[in-house]
Amino acid sequence: MNYSECIIKAKDRIGKFCKACPECNGRVCKNQMPGPDSKAIGATAVRNYDKWKEIRLQMDTIAENKPVDTSLELFGKTFRYPVFAGPVGAVSLHYGDCLDDVTYNDILVSACAENGIAAFTGDGVESNVMVAATAAIKKTGGVGIPTVKPWNIETIREKMALVHESGAFAVAMDIDAAGLPFLKNMEPPAGSKTVEELREIIEMAGTPFIVKGIMTVKGALKAKEAGAAAIIVSNHGGRVLDQCPATAEVLEEIATAVNGSMKILVDGGIRSGADVFKALALGADGVVIARPFVTAVYGGAQEGVRSYIEKIGTELEDTMKMCGVSSLKEITRECVFSKNTGSR
């Protein structure tokens, strides 16, 4: 099965909101929540996608003809590609009831680990979601990243006990999920965290901690102050705040400010190996992709996930070859061109 065949099969299994489009760009599903798209006018998911396409590649084939190495080392583990499957929650509500969060995470985590990358898992109000996600990660020997929502401290403590039991090599918190309605209405209060509160959570985690939902230099430096090992430049696919900048618009400034002191991942509209290359050129160490992996799981389960990883990995290899680089560390700002700044 290739990914195109996977998309066709997904159309018969996925729900009424997502259309399993050949190119997931947020236009057809615009402003559908429940559903896969973004909040209010629905422009942010589209903007995320479009801004990567405005960045162009600098071709250079006067270079040594040698094998391309796409591998990434992160927190002591080596991955085949600098690509991670993103966390998705409430899949039966947003994507179709033939799968629930437990089954979805079980398929995704195992398939990603078998094919040389790792998956972030989602979290939910029902306790069995994190229980099953961490169990799936444990079965892979810890090759997965549980993503804990910014609950109240008592709930976070319960979730962290499951993370420890899983042996996960890292843990994440999608701090931007503070904008989700079910968090706003919780007692004790959940949602936004101060630097001091985040530091307490990171110390509790006791493993490399990734803060997801950073969109400003100020936010990145706060995460660093709290002790984060990595950040994900992310606007939650536009699902928590309407009319955000695209992640491609803020990545380079954040990477410059962080200056290698934390690992940087980025998500939001990344759909091809060329997009992965662009993200690395702007300063990211790796990327996180969510919605296309949903299509992969619904359309082909483990085989669908394998086909998507192969697709994006092959595209990255080809882009690197045509831009004259043979390793990820050779991908620099001068490898891309944008109309605002040109190449450097």
Q: Report the share of the chain in percent with pLDDT over 90.
A: 73
| Mean of pLDDT over the chain | 91
Domain CATH for 104: 3.20.20.70
Cα separation, 115 vs 260, whole angstroms:
28
Torsion sign (Cα): 299, 311, 215, 201: positive
pTM: 0.94
pLDDT tens-digit series, residues 58-74: 999 999 999 999 999 99
Least trusted range by pLDDT, from 175-179, 281-285, 301-305, 327-331: 175-179
Name the domain count of the chain.
1
Cα–Cα distance, 69 to 72 (Å, whole number): 9
Q: Is residue 342 part of a domain?
A: no
Inside any domain, residue 344: no
Q: Which domain holds residue 221?
A: 3-337
- Any domain includes 295: yes
Query: Which structure tokens are listed for 82?
Result: 């600098």
Kindly state the helix (H) or strand (E) to which residue 148 belongs, with its residue range: strand 145-148
Residue with tokens 């990344």: 270
Question: Could you report the per-residue pLDDT of 285-307, keeping only the tens digit for each?
Answer: 999 999 999 999 999 999 999 99
Question: Which one, of 38, 35, 46, lies nearest residue 239 by Cα?
Answer: 38
pLDDT value for 28 = 79
329 vs 70, 204, 230, 267, 281, CA distance in Å? 10, 33, 18, 20, 9
Closest CA to 295 of 80, 36, 115, 57: 36
Q: Is residue 289 part of a domain?
A: yes
Answer with the residue of higher pLDDT: 38 or 11. 11
Question: Each residue of 206-224: pLDDT tens digit?
Answer: 999 999 999 999 999 999 9
Whole-number pLDDT of residue 159: 95
pLDDT of residue 89: 78
Taking the C-alpha atoms of residue 144 and residue 247, their distance in angstroms, rounded to an integer, is 24
Reference 200, options 252, 152, 259; nearest CA is: 152
**pLDDT higher at 119 or 97:** 119
In this model, does residue 54 exceed pLDDT 80? yes
- What is the pLDDT averaged over residues 35-54? 80
- 105 occurs within a structural domain: yes
Quote the tokens at residue 196. 């001091």
pLDDT band at 164 (very low <50, low <70, confident <90, very high): very high
* Degrees to nearest 5, angle at CA 180 with 174 and 182: 115
- Which of 10-19, 51-60, 208-217 comes out lowest in average pLDDT? 10-19
Query: CA of 245: how far to CAs of 43, 47, 50, in Å?
Result: 10, 8, 11
Contacts of 122 (CB under 8 A, 6+ apart): 87, 88, 89, 90, 91, 101, 105, 129, 133, 147
In a domain, 112, yes or no: yes
3 backbone dihedrals φ, ψ, rounded to 5° = -70, -30
Query: Which of 246, 167, 169, 154 lies closest to 210, judged by CA?
Result: 169
Q: Which whole number is the average pLDDT over 228-250?
A: 92
Residue 135 in this model has a pLDDT that exceeds 80:
yes
pLDDT confidence tier of residue 38, bands split at 50, 70 and 90: low
pLDDT the model gives residue 185: 72
